[in-house]
Amino acid sequence: MQLFDTHCHLDLEAFAHDRDTVLASARSRGVSDILVPGVERRTWPELAAFCATDNHLHLALGLHPVFLDAHGVEDVEALSPAVETWRPIAIGEIGLDWQIKSLDRDKQQRLLEAQLAVAETFGLPVVLHVRKAHDAMLATLKRFHLPGGFCHAFNGSQQQAEQYLQLGFRLGFGGMLTYERSTHLRRLAAALPAAAIVLETDAPDMTVASHRYQRNSPAYLPEVLSALAAVRQTDAGTLADVTTQNAHEVLGLG
């Protein structure tokens, strides 16, 4: 069984002391591939170097909306040259976060559109962070010609999910699916077609129920798979194959 963690910040400081051990543990549990998204320009060089060490660590470059105040015009302008230099497999993590009231929505929108334009130019999929802003995101995506991407930690409506699917996106489900109280998320994961779903951890954040209040890890991805299989009443092995294939298709992998 091979699993694809489509969203894992393995490059962050939280893994500095045991990154190799964490990666080895994940591999031993069937996690064959990991997409590692960038969040700030200052992290891109080390992130690119890290992903270059392993063909199964996949690079994405982006400017995260939560760190809005850290991004200047020069950072946006640096994205295209960075794509040419490091050849990421996707643009991300980018998006809109309307849950944090202090983040300027207009500035977020401009940042998002500038990065979507880069993705369009290079024909790259995008990795989206969206909170309380799915309708605005969908309206924006429809103005660009993109090969799709991943909507990370999706928790929108069935109708919004269908719109993302029509645009070539897959929807990421992670650790929150392992909590019994996540009733909306579980209903959604059960109702969507299997071709719509990819697995993720968002490690070191959003950990699974068995490790609540602890650092998340890509090694816990099989627990997300188990939760998905339970809510869908489907064989876990079949879902592993389908979700991994979904990730490969979006990213243009073999």
pLDDT in tens, 203-254: 999 999 999 999 999 999 999 999 999 999 999 999 999 999 999 999 999 7
Residue pointed to by tokens 């591999």: 27
Pair of tokens at residue 216: 């998340």
CA–CA gap between residue 207 and residue 220 (Å, rounded): 8
Task: Write down all domains in the chain, each with its CATH number in brackets.
Answer: 3-251 (3.20.20.140)
**pTM for the full model?**
0.98
CA–CA gap between residue 231 and residue 225 (Å, rounded): 10
Pair of tokens at residue 104: 């300027």
The contacts of residue 79 (CB under 8 Å, 6+ apart) are 41, 61, 62, 63, 91, 114, 115, 118
The per-residue pLDDT for range 6-36, each reduced to its tens digit, is: 999 999 999 999 999 999 999 999 999 999 9
